[in-house]
Amino acid sequence: MPMGLLSRSTFFYKQVLPYLLFGFCAIFVLVGLTAGGPGGLFFVLFGVVMALVYLMYLRHLVWPLADHVYDRGEFLLFRKDEHEQRVMLHDIADIRYALTPLPQRLVVVTHEPGPLGHYLSFIPMGSIDLHLYPLMHVDPPAFVDGLVERINRAREARP
């Protein structure tokens, strides 16, 4: 049974978080430049290294996230910016639920890559946004089990 929208908004992670992270790094660099000396050099280097780490985090875990994912019954529709990819349920090779690092995301692996790629990730509805996840047990959202069952049935029904 199709469920409609499966994904949560990515606005905070894609639009707000980069400014916060790089702003934090810029503060370190500015403090280092105004302080001078060996302590100032440490702050500058620390700020630059943190910016590079944040860039890798954003590039590999945040920016690839689909903006919207819709369950349309026989297929899932992924939208990212102006691009769309339609993935038939029987063409899904695997579903992975990634808890760490944040954001929690569901990764759909397809047999054949499309316009958005081979690995399609999104923040699922029902995922929690708490940063206490290392201290608690977190299960995938409830719709994932039903989706996996539908994918298995679609594979079996495929000629």
Q: Which 3 state secondary structure label does DSSP give 62? A: helix
> What's the pLDDT at 7?
85
Q: Which 3 state secondary structure label does DSSP give 74? A: coil
- DSSP letter for 126, please: T
Whether residue 28 is contained in a domain is answered as: yes
Whether residue 117 is contained in a domain is answered as: yes
95-104, 117-126, 145-154: least confident range: 95-104
Same-domain status, 94 and 113: yes
Residue type at position 12: F
Same-domain status, 71 and 48: no
> What's the pLDDT at 137?
56
CATH number, domain at 139? 2.30.29
State yes or no: pLDDT of 130 exceeds 60.
Answer: no
| Containing structural domain, residue 144 | 65-157
- Cα separation, 147 vs 132, in Å, equals 27
Question: pTM higher than 0.85, yes or no?
Answer: no
> What's the pLDDT at 120?
95
Q: Name the band, by pLDDT with cuts 50, 70 and 90, for residue 1.
A: very low
Cβ neighbors of 97 (< 8 A, separation 6 or more) are: 104, 105, 106, 107, 124, 140, 144
- pLDDT tens-digit readout, 41-74: 999 999 999 999 999 999 998 999 999 999 998 9
Whether residue 2 is contained in a domain is answered as: no
Same-domain status, 55 and 123: no
> What's the pLDDT at 35?
87
Same-domain status, 95 and 37: no
